Amino acid sequence: MMSEVIHLKERNRKLFEKIEEISGEKVTLCEQCGICTTSCPMADEMDITPAGIMRYSQMGDETVLDSEAIWICASCFTCTVRCPRGIDLAKVTEALRELNLRKNIDRIDVSHLDEELDELPAIAVVSALRKFTS
Amino acid sequence: MKIGVYVCHCGGNISDVVDVERVAEFVSRQKDVAVVRSISHMCSESGQKAIIDDIWQYNLDRVVVSACSPQFQGETFRKAVAKAGLNPNMVVMANIREQSAWPHHDEPENATEKAKILTAMAIEDIRRKEPVEKVAIKMGKNVLVIGGGIAGIQASLDLANAGFNVYLVERKPSIGGHMAQLSRTFPTEDCSSCILSPKMADVAEHPNIHLLTYSEVLEVNGSIGNFRVRILKKPKYVDEDKCTACNKCTEVCPVSVPDEFNLGMTMRKAIYLPSSTAVPHSHVLDENACLGLRPLACGLCSEACEADAINYDDMPQYINLEVDTIIVATGYEVFDAHLKPQYGYGKYRNVINALEMERIIVEMAEGHIIRPIGKDVAFIQCVGSRDAQIGNLYCSRICCMYATKLASLLKRMDPSREVYVFYTDLRAFGKGFEEYYRTAQELGVKFVRGRPGELHENPETKKVIVRVEDTLTRKIIEKEFDLVVLSVGLVPGEGTVKIAEILKLPRSADGFIKEAHPKFRPVDTPVEGIFVAGTAQGPKDIPDTVAQASAAAARAMSLMNKGEYEMSPIKAFIHEERCNGCGECVDACPVDAITVTNVAEINVAVCKGCGACISSCPRNAIDLRVFSNDEIMAQIDAALEDKKPGEKRIIIFADDMCTYTLADGVGTAKLKYSSNTYIIRVPSSSRVTPEMIVAAFEKGADGVFLGECEEVVSPYPSTLKVIEENVKRAREILSSVGIEPDRVQYSPFVTVMFKKFVALANKMVNIAEKYGEIAEEKRRKLRKEIEVIYDE
Amino acid sequence: MKKFPYYPGCTLKQTARNFEESGIASAKALGIELVELPRWNCCGAVSSLTSDEIMRHVAPIRNLVRVQQMNDDGLLDNEYRLVVLCSMCFNVLKRSNLIVTKDAEMLRTINEFMDTEPDYEGTVEVIHFLEVLRDIVGFDKLRAKLKKPLEGLKVSPYYGCTLLRPKEVGIDDVESPTIMEELIKSLGGEAVDNPYRSLCCGSYHTVGDNKKIVAERAYKIINAARKNKAEAIITSCPLCAFNLDNRQKLVKELHPDFEYMPVLYFTQLMALALGKEKEAGFDGNFVDSRPLLKEKGLIKD
C-alpha cells in the first residue's frame, strides 16, 4: 500500500472549524485514547474507528466525510458517556453526517424501501429517514 | 515632625525622563519637609549614608525615598533607617521609576508631573505612619506529625535528629503506610519493606519521637506556636512493651475476618499482628471482630499468652497535646474500581487492582499463593484518573511506572508469559524512568496505545477479554487474559479529607490538600504553622515523597529554630472604643482569625493581613497596620490634589503580590500606558472599602480600579469575593447620585499579564474620557455617603 | 385514580399496539390513569444533535404545550409530569425539553415560530413509565398488588440506549442500572444478568441495506442472555423490540444454530402478573411467548 502524504491546507482548517461549529464540541480535546472505539457497538462494521473519526476531524481531513463509518453510527451515545475528556462524540458524528446531508447528498434512497414498509414500525422508518436523508 | 525626602536619579534611569530637580523643588515646598536631596544612586553606600547622616544631623523622624519600586529596594532603605535608630516602618518609597520614568518614557513632562504627585502621596503616607513592633510568636520545639507512612516517618526522623520533639500519630496499629505493602519500588526494584523497615525501627527507638499508633486526631484548636491537639488513643488490649509477638494468641483465636493489610484477599484473626514488619511489633485485638469483651465471651487468647500481655480492661485514652507546628502526612487511598463497573472489578474474578497485585507478588515471594496469576496478564492504565466521567481529571503520576514495574516483575518470573500494558500516554519522567521503560520493553512487555471502554468475561473459562483500539495501527484488537490488573489512580484518602476538615485546610480542585503557593511554597499550607508532605498533597512517588517530607520538616524547623517566629506586622486591629461586639467581622474573616467576647479580638498568629474584615464593620472599628485607613485616604487625597480642569486621574489599588508586581514588570518592559494613572499599593485590594472608593470620587477621581491576585496564586483566600461585593456597593452609591458605575472596575491578575494591565489602565482612562467631567454637585452629594470615614 | 398526561407516539398505535394496551391496563391496575394527549404529533424519533439546529425541537415541544393545555382545560389537576411508554420517544422529548429550557433565546424563537400555539413555559417534566413505577408507585406496592407472581420465570432486562444515555436524560445509572431488574423481581420473577443489556440493538439500521448489523447485535444480546439461563427478554422500546424480536428470523438465517427466545414489552409481563392477561397482547409478538408461559404455569391453554 502506497503511503500518502497529506498536505494540510486552508480547506482542512475550514473543515475542522465547521465541524466544531456545527457540533458545538471542541474536537481538539480528544487525546486519542480509543475508549470510544471499544465502547462502540458498531465499531467492527466501520471502515474508520470512532477514535479515527475524531482524529480526521481534528486534522480537517475530508476523507472522513466519505467514510462509511459515520453512517454506520447508530447514535447510541455509548461513546459520549465513556469519553474521559467529556466530549460528546455523537454530536461530532452527527455534524459529519449533516455536512453531507446539507449538500443534499442522501444516504439511502427512499424509493427502495417499499418491500418492508408494512412490517416496519413507524419509529424505524421515521428515524432512518431523518438520519439518512436531508 | 521632620521629613527627609530623597529623589533618585537612578544613574539616568529616572533622570533621563523625569526632571528630578523640579521634583525636588516641588518637594521642598511641602509642609514638614526638613531635608530634600537629589542623588545619583540612592541605594549605593553613599546614598544610604546621606540618609543616615541626615537623620542624625537634622533629627529626621521620617524618610521618603523617591526612586525605584519598594519591591526592589524597600528592604535596603528599611535597614538604613533602622541603622540610624528609627523604626524600620518610618520610610516609604515613591515608585517613580517602574511606575513613571519607565512606562511614560516618551512623555517627560507628564512623567515629571506624575513623579511629583507620587512623591506627594508618599509624603502624605509617611506623615501618618506609626512605628510598628514586630509581631513575634513564641515558638517551642514540639511538632505533631499526622500520619505514619513514609512521609510522616521521614519528617519525624529529620525533626527528631535535629533535636525537636515529635509526636507521630498514626491511626492504624502500625506505621509504614502503603509503602509497607508494596513489593518492589521503581525504577531500582528495591524491596519496599526492606528499605522501609530500618526507618520504621529508627522511629520506634528514637528518644525524641513519641509514637502514638492506633490513634486519631480528634480536634485541633489554636494557632502557630500554640496548637492544642486532642488525640484518641484506641485500646489495643495488648501491652506493646510486653508482647513478644510469639503468635500463640492468634493461633487459638476462633474468629477470622478479612485482613486489611492484604486488602481482604486473605483472612486474619481478631487478635493479630498487623504485618510481619509491623512497628510497634505487637499484636492488637480488634474489638469489633472479637466475640465480646464486656462481658468477656471467649478469653482464649489471654490464656495462651505467656507474656501476660493481654489486658481486656484496656480503655480508650484521650491525650491533650500542645505543639508549635503540625505536619500533615496522611497519605492516599487507591481509586475504588467498583466505581467503574464497566471493568468488572468485584464481578469478574480475574480482574484485580494494582495494590492487590503488589500483595500477591509479596506473598508469593514468601511462599503463599493468594491466587494464581496465570500466564497472560494485562494492565489497564488510567483507571479512575484522567476521566471526566468519574470527575478525576488529573493524572495520577505513578501508575505508568508502577505498571511497568509490575509488568517487568511478572515477565521475569516467567518469560513465556504474555504481559500487555494498555496505555494512553506512557509517562516516564523521573530519574531512571525512561531507562527502566526501555528495560521493560527489552524484557518483552508489550505496550499497546489504547484504552478499553469495557471488559467482558468468557463465561466458560472466566478469562477476561480485553478489546481495544491499537490507536497506532488504528486496528481493533482483542485478546483473552488470565488476569487483568487495573492501574488505579491515587485519590485523597478518608484520613486526608477528615484532617483537612479538622484543621480547616483548603483542598485543591483535585481534592488533595492545597499548598500555599503552587510554585514557591509547595509544602506550606495556607494556614500558618501547618505543613503538608507526601501524597496527601497530590500523587507522587517515593523519592518525591521523601524530598517533600524533609522539606516540610525543614520548613517547620525554620519557624521554630529561633525560639520565636517573626510574622509580617501587617495585621488587622480593632479600635476597641468603637466596637460594640456585633460580630459581623467574624464571618467576614476568611481564616477565622476573629473572635468576639465583649469586643472583637484578632488573633495575630492567624490573621493574614488581607483586610477583608474592614468593609464588614458597620462602625468603622477595624483598621490595618502599615496600610491603615488614614494612610490610604491621605494617599488618595494627595493623588487628586491640584487637578487641572479637563485632566483625568485614575486611582489604581494594586495588591502587593500580583498587581503591583505586574505594574513594575510592565514598567521594566518599558510598555506604555496612560500616565493619568496613580497606583496605591495595598496588601490586598479587599482592604479597600466601598466608602474609600466613593471618597476617591468625591475628591476628584475620574475612575478607580482594583487589582488582585487570581485565587489560585493568592496568599489570601476568598478576597476576590469581598472585592466584588465592595465594588458592587460602591457602584450602587455612585449610581444613586448619577455617576456612571463602570468608572469602578476590578480584575484578578497574575504577574505575567502585561498586556492585560496596559489594556485595563488605558481602558479606565478611556471610560473617563468617554463620560467626561463629573459635575461638582454630584461629587458633593457623595460626601454624605462617606461621612463615616471623615468623622475621626 | 391518579391521572397523568400520556404520550403514546406513532408506533404504539401501529405495530406496537400490545405495548400500549398492556401498559394502560397495568397502569390502571395500579390506580393510574394514563390520559392520552389530545392532538399529539410524532416526536421525530431521533433528537437533533447539532448545535445550530432548532427546527427539530419544534415537534417535541409542541407535545409539551399540549400538557400545559390539558392542565389549563381542566383535564388534569396540576399535573405537569408527562408519562411516556416508548423509551425512544421519552428520550427525544426529555432531551428537547432539557435543551430548550436551558436556552432562553432558543425557547423564545421556538415559541415565536409556533405562533398558533400557546407559548411553552418550560413547566413540563418528561418521565418514563418505569420511573413512575419506581418513584411514584414504588416497587413494594407493585409487589403487593400482584395477582399472578411470575414465579420461576427467568427474565433478562434489555435497556437499550434510550433509557440510559446520554447521562442527563437517563433514568438510572448508565453503567450499572438496576431499575428493570428491580421491576422483574417485584413481579416475582428472577432477574438474569446480561453483560449486553445496554448494547445498542442497531436502531434504524433495520431499515435499508444494513439489516445484518441489527441481526448480529440481536444474536450477541440474546445469546448472552441465554448463556446466563434467561428464558425471556424484556424491553421498553418498540424499535428494540422489533430488532430483537422480529429480526430473529434474519438471525436464524445467518446463524443456523441460533434458538429463538421470546422478547416482550415489560408492560406485557406486568399485565400478566397483575391479572390482566387479556390485555397483555401475547399474540402480537413475533416469537411466541405463550409456550414458555404455559410451561411455567402462568397462562392456561
SS3 content of chain B, % helix, strand, coil (to 5): 35, 25, 40
The confidence score (pLDDT) of residue A1 equals 54
Question: Distance between alpha carbon B469 and the CA centroid of its chain, in Å?
Answer: 41
Closest CA to C223 of C198, C246, C257: C257
Distance from C-alpha of B36 to C-alpha of B23, rounded to nearest angstrom: 10
What tens digit of pLDDT does each residue of B565-608 get? 988 899 999 999 999 999 999 988 988 899 999 899 999 988 99
Does residue B294 share a domain with residue B258?
Answer: yes
pLDDT at B792: 45
CATH number, domain containing residue B15: 3.40.50
- Residue B321: how many other CB atoms lie within 10 Å: 17
Between vectors from CA B194 to CA B191 and to CA B199, what angle results, nearest 5°? 135
In a domain, B618, yes or no: no
φ, ψ of residue B431 in degrees (nearest 5):
-70, 120
CATH number at residue B247: 3.30.70.20
Q: Is residue A19 predicted with pLDDT exceeding 80? A: yes
C137 three-class SS = helix
CATH number, domain C2-129: 1.20.1050.140
Q: Which of C283, C282, C231, C234 is nearest to C261 (CA)?
A: C231
**In 3-state terms, what secondary structure has residue B637?**
helix
Is residue B73 a contact partner of residue B67, using CB atoms and an 8 Å limit? yes
Task: Using the 3D structure, point to which of B116, B133, B150 is the last residue of a domain.
Answer: B133
* ipTM tops 0.95: no
Examine the domain organization and report whether B738 and B789 are in the same domain.
yes
Mutation for testing the A interface, residue in B343, B382, B389, B473 having most A CBs under 10 Å: B389
C-alpha cell of residue B748 = 484578578
Confidence of residue C301 (pLDDT cuts 50, 70, 90): low
Q: Please give the backbone phi and psi of residue B708, each rounded to the nearest 5 degrees, phi first.
A: -150, 155
Pairing of strands C125-128, B142-146: unpaired
CA within 13 Å, CB half, B190: 11
- Of B543, B568, B593, at which residue does a domain stop? B568
Same domain, B127 and B20: yes
Strands (E), B587-659: 594-596, 600-602, 622-624, 650-655
Task: Give this prediction's pTM.
Answer: 0.85
Is residue B421 located within the same domain as residue B557? no
Whether B639 and B788 share a structural domain: yes
**For residue B233, what are the β-bridge partners?**
B215, B317
Please indicate, yes or no, whether residues B480 and B501 belong to a single structural domain of this protein: no
Report H helices in A1-134: 10-23, 35-39, 50-59, 69-72, 78-82, 89-101, 122-132
Of B352, B361, B377, the closest CA to residue B191 belongs to B361
d(CA B92, CA B488): 56
Which distant-in-sequence residues (6+ apart) come within 8 Å of B527 by Cβ?
B503, B504, B505, B591, B606
Task: Say if the Cβ atoms of A41 and C165 lie within 8 Å.
Answer: no
* Helix or strand (DSSP H, E) at B77: helix B70-83
| CA–CA dist C222, C211 (Å, integer) | 17
Cell of B109: 513632562
* Interface residues of chain C, partner chain B, Cβ below 8 Å: 175-176, 195, 227-228
Under a CB-based contact definition with an 8 Å cutoff, are residues C95 and C244 in contact? no
d(Cα C71, Cα B790) in Å, to the nearest integer? 62
Strand B325-328 vs strand B142-146: parallel, antiparallel, or unpaired? parallel
A positions 57-76 inside 8 Å of C (CB): 72, 74-76
Nearest residue on chain C to B340, alpha-carbon basis = C175
What residues in C contact A127, CB-CB < 8 Å?
Answer: 45-46, 88, 203-204, 239
Hey, what's the cell of A65?
466525510
Degrees to nearest 5, angle at CA C38 with C37 and C44: 65
Among the listed residues B33, B105, B107, B106, the one whose alpha carbon sits nearest the alpha carbon of residue B66: B33
Residues B454 and B499 in one domain: no
Output the nine-digit C-alpha cell for B56: 542624625
| pLDDT tens digits along B676-689 | 999 999 999 999 99
* H or E element in which residue B421 lies: strand B419-423
CB neighbours of residue B524 within 10 Å: 20
Q: In what order do the strands lie in the sheet with C263-265?
A: C190-191, C154-157, C232-235, C263-265
> H helices within B270-366, ranges in order?
300-304, 354-365
Residues of chain A contacting residue C50, judged by C-beta atoms under 8 Å apart? 22-24, 91, 94-95, 98
Q: Which residue range forms the structural domain that includes residue B158?
A: 134-234+316-331+493-568
Q: Could you tell me which of B438, B401, B404, B432 has the C-alpha nearest to residue B419?
A: B404
Q: Which helix (H) or strand (E) holds B467?
A: strand B464-470
| Full 3-state SS string of A50-73 | HHHHHHHHHHCCHHHHHCCHHHHC
Supply the pLDDT for residue A38: 95
Question: Which chains are adjacent to chain C, needing at least 3 Cβ pairs under 8 Å?
Answer: A, B
pLDDT band at A3 (very low <50, low <70, confident <90, very high): confident
* Closest by CA position to B609, among listed B670, B549, B528, B671: B528
My answer on whether omega of the bond before C166 falls inside 30° of 0, hence cis, is yes
- Residue C136 touches chain A, beta carbons under 8 Å: no
CB B451 to CB A83 under 8 A? no
Residue B191 covered by a domain: yes
Whether residue B459 and residue C227 make contact (CB cut-off 8 A), yes or no, is yes
CA-atom Rg of chain C in angstroms: 19
> What pLDDT, on the 0 to 100 scale, is given for residue B787?
67
Q: Tell me the C-alpha distance between C237 and C227, whole Å.
A: 23
Residues B477 and B498 in one domain: no
- Whole-number pLDDT of residue A115: 67
Domains and CATH numbers, chain A: 10-103 (1.10.1060.10), 108-134 (no CATH)
Contact A122 C10 (CB under 8 A): yes
What amino acid occupies position C71?
A: N
d(CA B323, CA B329): 16
pLDDT score for C224 = 94
Interface partners of chain B (CB pairs < 8 Å, 3 or more) are: A, C
B614 belongs to a structural domain: no
Query: Do C2-129 and C148-295 fold alike per CATH?
Result: no
SS3 B392: strand
What ranges do the domains of chain C cover? Answer: 2-129, 148-295
Beta-carbon count within 10 A of B63 CB = 27
Closest to B704 (Cα-Cα) out of B722, B725, B688 = B688
Amino acid at B334: V
The answer to whether C86 faces chain A, any CB pair under 8 Å, is yes
Residue with cell string 488525640: B231
Q: B632 and B581 in one domain?
A: no
Following CA atoms C199, C203, C207, C208 in sequence, which dihedral angle do they give, to the nearest 10 degrees? -60
**CATH ID of C148-295, from 3.90.480.20, 3.40.50.11540, 2.160.10.10, 3.40.50.11810:** 3.40.50.11810
Task: Give per-residue pLDDT as tens, B502-552.
Answer: 998 989 989 999 998 888 899 999 898 999 999 999 999 999 999 999 999
**Which CB contacts under 8 angstroms, 24+ apart, belong to C143-146?**
C143/C186, C143/C187, C143/C188, C145/C29, C145/C30, C145/C274, C146/C187, C146/C188, C146/C273, C146/C274
Residue A133's pLDDT is 87
The C-alpha atoms of residue B355 and residue B334 are separated, in whole angstroms, by 8
Domain membership flag for residue B617:
no
Domain total in chain B:
6
> What distance, in Å, lies between the first and last C-alpha atoms of chain A?
36
The pLDDT of residue A117: 76
Average pLDDT on C208-212 reads 87
Boundary of a domain, candidates B133, B163, B187: B133
ω before B280 within 30° of 0 (cis)? yes
With a cut of 70, which residues of chain B have pLDDT below it? 787-792
CB contact under 8 A, C175 and B457: no
Question: What contacts B758, CB < 8 A, 6 or more positions away?
Answer: B666, B671, B672, B673
Distances (CA, A) of A59 to A86, B662, C33, C226: 20, 38, 55, 44
Whether B663 maps to a domain, the answer reads: yes
The average pLDDT across C272-285 equals 93
- Contact list in B for residue A84 (CB cut-off 8 A) is 382, 386-389, 451
Residues B115 and B240 in one domain: no
* Cα–Cα distance for residue pair B298/B368, rounded to 1 Å: 30
- Residues B585 and B643 both lie in one domain: no
- pLDDT given for residue B788 in this prediction: 53
CB atoms inside a 10 Å sphere around CB C78: 5
Instruction: Report phi then psi at C174, rounded to 5.
Output: -70, -30
Residue C54's closest chain A neighbor by CA? A22
- Output the domain CATH number for residue B453: 3.50.50.60
**Do residues B67 and B14 make contact, with C-beta atoms less than 8 angstroms apart?**
yes
Are residue B791 and residue B642 in the same domain, yes or no?
A: yes
Chain C residues with CB under 8 Å of A77 CB are 161, 165-166
